[in-house]
A and B are shown apart, each in its own frame.
Chain A
């Protein structure tokens, strides 16, 4: 199999599954960590990922189709999404003098909307960065990389998802950092009722970071 990408914790290979182009995501053994710890982490994450991808799909959020789940080897065979990560898309946009603010704002609102919908379905992502959101040519957004996800999140969990995204956004897209507000706007619309309690919690989580006492 041909190595396609190395992500944050796995290797992604290109392969074929009855003529369909697929990717095989392997959470390979990390030699730096203790074996017992390594095995339990890889297994739990693979399981969590498969469950969340399925639940999202059932709720109408675009995620890759899963073809095979091999828990013993921590491998998931899934649909190949012909796409760019939102991370790459934004980085390319930065260099593209012709980009237009209206379209960008629309993209960010849509990102917010997908997350809002995911949360309203009772799914916490856990590693929500722009590298884990794919954008197809036609603009469809596909969520991936659910290894740290779980169901029935508290408001705190949902706020943490937004906080992770915000920091990842600022760390890599500081050009556009003023526009993070558009993601929140999209989120509010999609989440619907009771969204204010999550936004409040998001402010608390942020403030906690800023107030943390540090020395040494």
Chain B
């Protein structure tokens, strides 16, 4: 039995979770929310994490009804992420690991999303669509690595949605993407946007600049409503994601898809993916916001998998890094 504590803070969500052999004992999160029209900046985000991490840690222990002695291993996000918030959280993880004399395990954030998704949905060997504010990847598992089959060649899908939410001055509470999704539900009229699939890769920056430039005139002429534009943007971006996922599935002969990452809780994205899967006789696995959105449990769970498979942390490993590719990690806990 391994009880694992996980710290996550690679972007604007601070998460602490405790897991015991795949059973979630606590999943606490605090999100740094900025005013409408503004994105989050590294320094302010780091400050947010620093001022909340101790009380969130206490909360995680209270909810799980555990004491620090009962923890077997302390895990933290090594990367990828934004430097300042990553470092702020890592320093706390290192400190408590020393204080309580527990092993420290550095975890890749992207891998953690995948492993958490596999745990919650019990999917075996899915093609993974990983979509979030900083990441857009289609991933297949082969030869003890999660291989990146396709990805964005510029900005992430979540970033594209968030930046358009800023153009429309939508609220960042609970998240800009959530508010775009609600608006899009009321949209009716489709405006054709660029559709950019290059091989297995997608590109979103051209779409964003196109719609940013046109939005004012489309809206003020009364031709389109903000709801229509949110709808058009979502339909276009998501169609590109479903298409590349389907290409990967076809090539890998995969009959399972798992959607992970913050954008993964978008119901329209899940619905589109479900239609595609039904068409191919495949199964869709998705999770809700508790596990899709960055959280500490996924770090705790993945760290526990690494620990159980005999991972030995070196001194260099206890640093964090902004760049840390999904395919760099050797997966020792899967056949």
Binding site for B on A (CB under 8 A): 6-9, 30-34, 36-37, 40-41, 87, 126-131, 148, 160-161, 163-164, 167-168, 170-172, 174-175, 177, 208-216
Is B15 among interface residues, defined by CB-CB distance under 8 A?
no
Is B133 among interface residues, defined by CB-CB distance under 8 A?
yes
Residue of B80, B197, B199, B294 with most chain A CB atoms under a 10 A cut-off: B199
For this complex, 8 residue pairs linking A to B, each with C-beta atoms less than 8 Å apart, are A9-B243, A32-B242, A34-B235, A37-B190, A129-B247, A171-B142, A211-B323, A213-B323
Report whether B251 and A214 are in contact in the complex, using a CB–CB cutoff of 8 Å: no
Report whether B147 and A174 are in contact in the complex, using a CB–CB cutoff of 8 Å: yes
Residue of B143, B192, B251, B324 with most chain A CB atoms under a 10 A cut-off: B251
Report whether A167 and B148 are in contact in the complex, using a CB–CB cutoff of 8 Å: yes
Report whether B148 and A34 are in contact in the complex, using a CB–CB cutoff of 8 Å: no
Q: Residue on A with the closest CB to B263?
A: A216
Chain A nearest Cβ from B271, distance in angstroms: 8
Q: Which of B24-32, B95-103, B274-282 contacts A (4 or more CB under 8 A)?
A: B274-282
Report whether A167 and B81 are in contact in the complex, using a CB–CB cutoff of 8 Å: no
A-B complex: 6 closest residue pairs judged by Cβ atoms: A174-B143, A216-B134, A215-B134, A164-B199, A8-B250, A32-B275
Report whether A36 and B142 are in contact in the complex, using a CB–CB cutoff of 8 Å: no
B94: chain A residues at CB < 8 Å are: none
Tell me which residues from 224 to 250 in chain B have a Cβ below 8 Å from any Cβ of chain A: 235-236, 239, 242-243, 246-250
Report whether A216 and B143 are in contact in the complex, using a CB–CB cutoff of 8 Å: no
Report whether B82 and A215 are in contact in the complex, using a CB–CB cutoff of 8 Å: yes
Report whether A34 and B239 are in contact in the complex, using a CB–CB cutoff of 8 Å: yes
Is B118 among interface residues, defined by CB-CB distance under 8 A?
no
A130: chain B residues at CB < 8 Å are: 251
Binding site for A on B (CB under 8 A): 10-11, 79-82, 109-110, 132-135, 140, 142-143, 145, 147-151, 153, 156, 158, 190, 192, 195, 197-201, 235-236, 239, 242-243, 246-252, 261-262, 271-273, 275-276, 279-280, 294, 322-325
| Complex partner residue of A37 from B133, B192, B325, CB under 8 angstroms | B192
B109: chain A residues at CB < 8 Å are: 215-216
Interchain CA distance A87-B135 in the complex, whole Å:
28
Report whether A215 and B80 are in contact in the complex, using a CB–CB cutoff of 8 Å: yes
Residue of A9, A163, A167 with most chain B CB atoms under a 10 A cut-off: A167
Report whether A216 and B200 are in contact in the complex, using a CB–CB cutoff of 8 Å: no
Report whether A129 and B239 are in contact in the complex, using a CB–CB cutoff of 8 Å: no
Report whether A215 and B251 are in contact in the complex, using a CB–CB cutoff of 8 Å: no
Report whether B199 and A128 are in contact in the complex, using a CB–CB cutoff of 8 Å: yes
B280: chain A residues at CB < 8 Å are: 6
B236: chain A residues at CB < 8 Å are: 34, 37
| Complex partner residue of A127 from B133, B149, B247, B325, CB under 8 angstroms | B247
Report whether A215 and B195 are in contact in the complex, using a CB–CB cutoff of 8 Å: no
A213: chain B residues at CB < 8 Å are: 80, 134, 322-323
Interchain CA distance A114-B132 in the complex, whole Å:
38
Q: Residue on A with the closest CB to B242?
A: A32
